[in-house]
Structures are given as C-alpha cells and as structure tokens.
Structure 1
Amino acid sequence: MLIGEVARRSGVSARMLRHYDSLGLVRPTGRTEAGYREYSREDIRRIFHIESLRSLGLSLREVGQALDNPEFAPSELVDDLVERTRERIAGETELLARLRRIGAVGPADWEDVLRIVALLQALGSESVGQRQRAALSSVEDVPVPVEALVEAALNETDPNVAGALRWALARTGDGGLALLAEGLGSPAAEVRKRAVESIARIPNGAATALLQESLTDPDVPVRRSAALALGARGVADAVPTLVEMVVEGTNDVDAADALTVLARDSALAEQIATRLVACLADGTMESSARRRLTQALAEIPGNTASHALADLSHDDDRAVALTATYIAKLRNAQ
C-alpha cells in the first residue's frame, strides 16, 4: 500500500509517516519499481500501535522504546505517565482557577488584568512581606478576587498576613462566606480554625450560624476560636466552652472578657456565675484554675457572683481568698 493510501486510511499524514520513517519508527517493508514507499499489513499495524501509544502521552522516543526494547517495562512507564498527567491536570486546573478569578472581577482593560495577575502572584509569593502587601492592597485600586482571598486565608500560616487577609475578606462583605463554609469541612483542623477566624470577622447572621456549628467541631482549638467569636456576639451557646477555657488557662483572659460581654444579659449572668461556682466547688481543681475562676467572677453582675466571692474570701487557699477579697471590695465600692 502506497503512502497516500496509508495516510488516508490511518489518519496519519504523509508528512508524519515520512517523519516516522526518518526516525526508524516505521520503515516501509518495500519500494515500488518507481521508488515509492510501499507499506505492508504489518507496517500498518505498527502505525496504529504508534498512534495508540502517542494517545497516552508518550513521546516518539518512548514509543520507539516501548515497541523495540525487549526489556521495556510497561508498568514503570504507565506509572510515570500517571504522575505526568496528574501534574499537567494540576497545572491546567490552577490556570483555570486563575482565569476564573480574573474574569469574576470583570477587568475593564489589559491594565486591570495585569494588576490582578500581579496581585494573585503576590498572594502566592514565598515572601511574607509581599503576601501582606497584597492582602492590604486597596480593593478600589486593585480589584481583589474573593476566591483567591479565601484560598490564601485558609492556607496562610503567618499570623500578620493572616490578619491582613481576614481584614481584606471582611471588606468584601459576605461574598466569601460560602467558600469559608467549605473550609469548615476541611479534614485539616488548622484549615478549619482559619476558616472560623475569618468567618468571625463577618458580622451577619449567616456567619453566626456557621460559628455555632463549629462549637461541635472535633478539634478543641477550633471550638475555642468559635466560642470567643460567639461570646463577642452575645451568643449563650458559647458559655460552656468559654468556662472550660478559663479552667484550663487557654486564652483565659479573652474567654473571661467574652463571658463579661455575655453577662450583660442579667438572666445569662446568673447562669454564667452558677457555672463558674460549680467549677470552683470541684475538690480536684488545681489552685491556679480556682484563682482564674475567681477572677472571672469579677465582672459578672448579680447576687450569685457576689455571694460566691464573699464565701471565697474565706477559702482555705490563701491566694484564692485574697483574690476574692480584693474583687469583693472593688464591687462594693462601685
């Protein structure tokens, strides 16, 4: 079969068939009297084998090895192809995400596109300074893709940059809330905690509901971050976790401040005081924990807290007694 007919039947151009010939991949078995290439049935079968292997992503060199090297190990090459394909898909996925982010901002001209690209590159920079400057960029001067901000906030490990990213997200309103909610479902506790910290900066009911859901998170730091945010919003569900934080001495000052905010509700103030007093009555409680609980009673109004402080001023633990006496005097002087 002559080269033109082979090209028509196989779908491989005559030019590519000549290239295969020059590389030694497929050399026609014969020649006509006029010197034209003449392909046998076996030659055509080899052409189809080549095209099949090329469709898997093999280079022509790898195709030649696969067909001609008797020691060739297909499994190793397939594993390599799988890895290369994964890398290519990851690269294409990243490109697609970047294009979608740029498109979502709605750039007016190429100058806008270039500024957005520069911002996205800075958000992904290894330099802490560059990431922070990108987060603090004015949304008026450089439109910030919300999706990119959320991704950066959920992955940022530097506390200063993370704070700047949360500020930038808060300025966008609740546009990133749905994406942050997805972050709450991450298998990584650190990501869930960053999601909670970002949601805490968004002052609306939907954000509050997400924070309340996080009070049941299996990771303790996630629950505590949610409780601090909810305490500042006056949500009573946060009380048990906040009291636990006081007992264990983890961000206990912040937790006590949150309890103070919640205690502005007189009915809730009595509940908080009752819970603190119940913890103080635990005979196995360490002295340092009892002192923290006593200090937490200082800003809790109501009779329950006042009576507890009066009793604690005679406590067997001198440090607790002195603390309670001092706090009681301050309360009486007000």
Structure 2
Amino acid sequence: MWKVGELARRSGVTVRTLHHYHDIGLLVPSGSTGAGHRLYTDADLAKLQQILVLRQLGLTLEQVGEYLTRDDYSPRAVIELRLQQLREQIATADRLRVQLEGLSRLLDRAEIVSAEQFLQTIEALTMIDKYYTPEQLANMQERYSANIDRIKEVEAEWPRLMAAVQAEMDKGTPPTDPAVQALAQKWDGLVSEFTGGDPNLQASLKKMYESEPTVAGMDMGKMRPMMEYVQRARTGE
C-alpha cells in the first residue's frame, strides 16, 4: 500500500493531481487507513501509469475516463499507442536534424546571413518539435504550401498589428474601447489563418508563447502583456 504523499514523491505526480483524479473518479484508491487517508495498491499504480500515458497522447481527463471503460481497452493497447507516438516524434526529430544540417551548410556559404538569423532559425525548428505533433506539422505544411502567398501576407501583417496594439496600451486605452476590440478581432483572425481554426493547434501555439522566453526572435516578455491586453478585449473586461 502507498500513501498519497509517498506515491507523489516516487511518481512525480503531485498530491493535488492525485486528489483531483480521486475527486473525479478517475483513480480511486483501493484502500484507506483507519484515519481515512488514501492508500494505493499496485493495481492503482498500474492504472495511474495508463492514465499518464493517455494524457501524453493528448486525451482530456474525460476522454481518459471513457477510454479506460471501453470494452476493447487493454494496457498493452495503451502502451502501443504511446510507442507509435514516440516513433512518429523520433521520425519528426530526424527530419528536423536533416533540415538543420542542410541549413547549416547553406549558411556557411552565405556570408550575409547573420549569426542571429541562424540562431532564430534553429530556435524555430527545434521549438516546432517541442510543441507540435507530427499531424499538426503535416497540416501546417500542407496549408502553407497551398496558401503560401497569403501566409506571407499574414506574416507581414503581424508586426503592424502588434505595433498598433502596443500604441493603444501606451495611450492607456481601455480594452473595452471599440478600437481595441477591433484590433483583438484582427489578432484572432490572423491566428486563425495560421492554425486553420484548429483548436488543438491553437492550444499548442498558446502553450509555446506562454512557456518560451523568445519565439522567432520575439521577446515574449514584451509580447505577453499584449496577449493579456487582447484577451481582456475579447472578454470585455
């Protein structure tokens, strides 16, 4: 039997998360002490491992619960799903390696390309693998190839839009102002064109912006206040 604190220390899963899994019925401990403290069995640990694998596959907690109760559910099937995802990630990483090696050779011959540009390119390539699934990468590449002229226009619009948002912030314009809300709508429109309206891709993009100090050469420390300002305009706060 494992107490919740012991399980948290050994597994790396926080006590709060284990409590939450219990509260929603996803992982109910099989035992308890006389004082009512949770006790987890080996079977509970096996189920926790399955939950974490399914979460890594991108399932929501609700979807995990549904999957674990399916008639065709088996621990082996879950592990195989995760293995397949890892194989795809390894293949993606290998493609990125080839891209970087080719880029490095090109940059060695192009004296006009600065070291900063080189670093930004590497940052972009490696960051892609960190935050996007192979399927998302494939969808982005397909959309980019099919709409390359529009994508370039969108990329050129971003600096102008951010400058306009920053100007309103500097003036102290409240987010509820119609001018700011119009900028927020344009912001969302550009994001939608990049993501194709895919909510999962939007979530990956948001996570990257929230987690990284720089993205494509942009200082996220300066970018995040703008994102918060735009969010307040969306909600009318």
TM-score category of the 2 structures, normalised to the smaller one: 0.3 to 0.5
**Which gives a bigger RCO, structure 1 or 2 (Cα 8 Å, sep 6+)?**
2
If the length of structure 1 is used for normalisation, what is the TM-score?
0.27
Which is higher, the Rg of structure 1 or of structure 2?
1
If the length of structure 2 is used for normalisation, what is the TM-score?
0.34
